[in-house]
Amino acid sequence: MRITVLSLFPELIATVARFGVLGRALDRGLLELATINPRDFTDDPYRSVDDRPFGGGPGMVMRVEPLERALEAARADRPGRVILLTPQGQRLTQSRLAALAKASHLILVCARYEGVDERFVETFVDEELSIGDYVLSGGELPALVLIDGLARLREGVLGDARSAEEDSFSDGLLDCPHYTRPAEYRGRRVPEVLLSGDHAAIRRWRRSQALLRTWYRRPDLLMRASLSEQDRALLAEAIEAWRLAGKR
Ligand code: 9D3
């Protein structure tokens, strides 16, 4: 899979992408990342990529021509799905990530200033995505969020010990709590079941904790999750234990 990012700050994308799981995926050729700067496609002496909004008002708008030429360069040797990162987009979710991970070429367009000329969106953009309802200063960090999420879904990026399938959110639930040594820290012991060696009991405990946490912290997720009869029984039992422990 190739990802081409159109950005006025290509070094920001390239720098962040060097680290961790994503960096290793790029090193191993499991993912190809290219950046294109629309400023390199301007034709005036000031290399201006933005201009004042028709109708007046504060802020500047990204001009359509440098973006169009940058996009032409991005598609020169392979067509691609064009995604604009914008606060006006559909919310990025794990299922949207999974769908995008199947593409052969994604072209991510990052806006700065107030946004891009709407005619660019109408003419060239296939999909508009937001990463959440808060105000950032541009599309670069959202693009990196998207790229990071995509990289972990590519075959071979994660070790086979842990598949992307068993991730939190692929089954619509939050993750269970995790512990490592020491077995006691400041008088707090790790839940005994995790030390028991009883793998069926451990699996049940983890599932019940995932269900309980999702019920308590993110009831919105629980509403959409498809729970088995056994899940429902586990959750009912966990809620009862939680109430008896006086947590509420
Ligand atoms: C404060 C400026 N706002 C006008 C009232 C509009 C605005 C324009 C440009 C708000 C944010 C941005 C820059 N943001 C993005 O390009 C962006 C974004 C975001 O801010 N939040 C969540 N997801 C995304 S994806 C792209």
Q: Which helix (H) or strand (E) holds 21?
A: helix 20-27
pLDDT band at 164 (very low <50, low <70, confident <90, very high): low
Question: Could you give the domains of the chain?
Answer: 2-152 (3.40.1280.10), 167-244 (1.10.1270.20)
Running DSSP on this structure, what letter comes out for residue 117?
Answer: -
The whole-model pTM stands at 0.96
Q: Shortest CA distance to 215 belongs to which of 237, 185, 197, 193? A: 237
Given the residues 65, 68, 127, 167, select the one marked as catalytic: 167
Q: Atom 13 of ligand 1 has which residue's CA nearest to it?
A: 138
pLDDT band at 248 (very low <50, low <70, confident <90, very high): confident
Say whether pLDDT at 116 is over 80. Answer: yes
pLDDT band at 247 (very low <50, low <70, confident <90, very high): confident
Pocket of ligand 1 (CB under 6 A): 85-87, 111, 114-115, 130-132, 134-139, 142
Given the residues 51, 114, 198, 240, select the one marked as catalytic: 114
Helix 140-151 × helix 20-27 angle, to 10°: 70
pLDDT digits (tens, 9 = 90+) for 27-51: 999 999 999 999 999 999 999 999 9
Q: What is the arrangement of strands in the sheet containing 32-36, beginning at the earlier edge strand? A: 32-36, 2-6, 105-110, 81-91, 127-130
pLDDT digits (tens, 9 = 90+) for 167-212: 657 689 999 999 999 999 999 999 999 999 999 999 999 999 999 9
Q: Atom 1 of ligand 1 has which residue's CA nearest to it?
A: 135
Spacing, Cα 50 to ligand 1 middle (Å) = 16
